[in-house]
Amino acid sequence: MTQTPSGEVVVRLQGVGRRFGATPALAGVDLTIRQGERVAVLGPSGAGKSTLLALLNGSLEPSEGSLEILGSAPAGLSTRERRALQRRVGTISQGLDLVEQVRVLHNVNAGRLAEWGTPRALASLAWPRPDRRALDALTAVGLEWAVHERTERLSGGERQRVAIARLLIQRPELVLADEPVASLDPTRASEVLALLGQAVRRGTGLDADPDAGPVARPDGALVVTLHQPLLARQHCTRAIGLREGRLIFDAVVDDLPPAALDDLYARA
C-alpha cells in the first residue's frame, strides 16, 4: 500500500524556523511535498500549524532555513514575482474571508483577480457575467442555483462551499486549508475535504478548460490542518504531526501508529 510519491516537488523546507520576537513558532522543520500528495497537518492548538501555512503561501518569510515553493524561494522575490507565485497557491481559512455584501458570483470571481489583471477585474465588478468556468466551479460545489444570491443570505455551510468554489476557479497548484472543517458536523466535514481533494486533482472534468486545449496537467498538492485523525485517514495520503513548533512525525496515513497521536496530543 505504501507508495513513494513520484511527482515533482511542490514545496521543500530545510531546517526552516520562524520566530515572532523571541518566541519560536516553528523550528528545524524539514519537509518535502510532491505533486499528488494530500497532507494532513495534525497537532494541538499553538503547535505552529498556522505559521506553517503562512510560510507555505508566501505571506510570511522564514527566520532561518531554506524554503522553496513551486520552484522558487519567496525570500528573494520582488513584489510582482511574489504575487505571481501566490496566484498559484490557493488558501482557504476557517473564517472564509468572503465579502458578505456582494453576490456569490463576485466572491467566486475573486479567485481570478490575479489572472485577470486590473481592467478586466473592475469591468467584471461593474458588469458581472457568469461564464462557463464560474458556473462549473459553483456546480462542483452544488451551488449553481446561488450565482446571483447575496453571499450573506447563505447558510454557514453554503458559504464554506462558496469559498471552495473561489479556490477551484483559481486553479491553484498548491492548496492550503487552515482548519476548514473545525466548525462542521462529520458529514459536512467529509464533503468539504472531498471537495478540497478534488480541487487539486486534474482532469476530473471539473478542470476541463475549453481554452486550454487537451493539455494534461499534473495533480497539485493539498496541505490541510485538521484536528480529527480519522478524517485525515479518509481524505489524505500523508500526515505530519507538529508539536511546539517541531515536526514529530511524518508518515503515510495508513501507517500512522495510534501511539504517535497519543503522544501528539498528550499534555506536556
Partner 1 sequence: MLLRRVAGALIILLPILWALRRALPGDSDVVNAGGVPLIGDLLAKALSPRLDGEFLRVVLEATGTTLAFAALGTAGALVIGLLGGLVLSDVAWSRRPPLPVRLVRGLLRGVLVAIRSVHELVWALLLVSVLGLDPLVAVIAIALPFGAQTAQVFGDTFDALPTRALRSLRDAGAPAVPAVVFALLPPAGPLMLSYSFYRFECAVRSTVLLGAVGVGGLGQELVVSLSSRNWDEVWTLIAAVIVLSALVDAWSGRLRTDMAVASCAEWSAGGTTSVPRRSHSRWARWSAVAVVPGLVVAWIASGVSLSGLTSERTRMLTVGLLEDLVPPALPSAGWQVVTGGVLDTLAMAVLAMSIAVLITVVVSPWAVAARRSGGPPAPLGARAVRWVVWAIARVVLLVLRSVPPTVWAVIALLALFPGVLPGALALGIYTGGVLGRLVAESWESVSPAPRDALVRTGVPGALATVAAVVPASAQQLVTYTLYRFEICVRETAVVGIVGAAGLGRLLADNLNFFRFPVVTTLLLASFAVSVAVELISRRLRHAIRA
Residues that bind partner 1 in the complex, under the rule CB under 8 A? 57-59, 83-91, 93, 95, 97-102, 106, 110-111, 113-114, 116-118, 121-122, 125, 150, 152, 170
For the CB of residue 50, give the shortest distance to partner 1 in the complex, in Å: 13
Q: Which is nearer to partner 1, 2 or 118 (CB)?
A: 118
98 contacts 159 by C-beta, under 8 angstroms: yes
Residues in Cβ contact with 12 at an 8 Å cutoff, skipping those fewer than 6 apart: 31, 32, 33, 66, 67, 68
- Rounded CA gap, 211 and 222, in Å? 25
Task: State how beta strands 38-42 and 221-225 pair.
Answer: parallel
71 contacts 12 by C-beta, under 8 angstroms: no
Q: Which is nearer to partner 1, 168 or 232 (CB)?
A: 168
Q: Which is nearer to partner 1, 60 or 181 (CB)?
A: 60
For the CB of residue 132, give the shortest distance to partner 1 in the complex, in Å: 21
- Residue with cell string 508518515: 251
Q: Which is nearer to partner 1, 86 or 160 (CB)?
A: 86
For the CB of residue 107, give the shortest distance to partner 1 in the complex, in Å: 9
223 contacts 56 by C-beta, under 8 angstroms: yes
For the CB of residue 176, give the shortest distance to partner 1 in the complex, in Å: 10
For the CB of residue 81, give the shortest distance to partner 1 in the complex, in Å: 10
Q: Which is nearer to partner 1, 76 or 95 (CB)?
A: 95
Residue among 222, 260, 218 at smallest CA distance from 243: 260
